[in-house]
Amino acid sequence: MKFFVDTADVKDIRELNDLGLVDGVTTNPSLILKSGGNILEVTKEICSIVKGPVSAEVTATEYAGMMKEAAVLAKIADNICIKLPLTLEGLKACKALTSDGHKTNVTLCFSANQALLAAKAGATYVSPFIGRLDDIGLNGMDLIGEIRTIFDNFAFETQILAASVRTVNHVKEAALIGADVITAPPATLKALVKHPLTDKGLEAFLADWAKTGQSIA
């Protein structure tokens, strides 16, 4: 399973990348707003830090505008992945961009049928939003399972990019179901390492080690 970091904060991306935890990055207009930077400059800096795919989202809602914006975004770096909304116009742009050899990420996916359409449009990734479904009382993880079954039934190559990840349990459950990628905020990725027994065990080992009076190096 690949780990993407869901942020446009360059400091966080650099830190996680140095830890070896970043296979790619996802951004969206809200994350660009939060970063306080210019989309082209911020995205360029992210692409210089991370080798894997960096999703940059178009903001036009019609095919022609999406294609125009995609051309600008694609010029930023070779590892740009064009992120498109799950609309008929977005799917049309996805098909055209994929045929032109671009990586694509179809976002704002909330149903298995939408994911099926993204796969048929040749998307590199489809992004089902787990947390936002949970927010309205549905089970986002059920959607990941449905999409996994459908993609396996027909051997679709589109990768399931589990998005809107809010908890460490989301990560574990998406991994158990077989999502290809999760994208999570920096804090959630870092929280994966936490376990009270690890902290307690380390504390005890260090206390006993101090009593030996020895040193290794």
**Which sequence positions are flagged as catalytic?**
83
Site string for ligand E4P, 128-157 (x = CB under 6 A): -x-xx-------------------------
Percentages helix, strand, coil for the chain (3-state, rounded to 5) are 55, 20, 30
Q: Which of residues 33-52 bind ligand E4P (CB under 6 A)?
A: none
Site for ligand E4P in 99-118 (CB under 6 A): 107
User: Could you say whether residue 164 binds ligand E4P (CB under 6 A)?
Assistant: yes
Residue of 56, 148, 41 whose CA lies nearest to 105:
56
Structure tokens at 117: 């359409």
Q: Return all residues near 142 (Cβ < 8 A) that are at least 6 apart.
A: none
Using CB under 6 A, which of the segments 66-74, 124-132, 140-148, 203-211 binds ligand E4P?
124-132
**Binding pattern for the stretch 65-104 against ligand E4P, x by CB under 6 A and - elsewhere:** ----------------------------------------
What does the alpha-carbon distance between residue 163 and residue 35 come to, in Å, rounded to a whole number? Answer: 19
- Closest approach of ligand E4P to the CB of residue 215, in Å: 46
**35 vs 107, beta carbon nearer ligand E4P:** 107
Q: Which among 88, 46, 95, 34 is positioned nearest to 70, based on CA atoms? A: 95
CB 166 within 8 A of CB 134: yes
183 near ligand E4P, rule: CB under 6 A? yes
Q: Site for ligand E4P (CB under 6 A): which residue of 73, 121, 163, 174?
A: 163
Report in angstroms how near the CB of residue 41 gets to ligand E4P at its nearest: 20
Question: Whole-angstrom Cα distance, residue 37 to residue 31?
Answer: 10
Q: How many CA atoms lie within 13 A of 137 on its CB side?
A: 0
- Residues of this chain that bind ligand E4P (CB under 6 A): 6, 26, 28, 107, 127, 129, 131-132, 163-164, 183
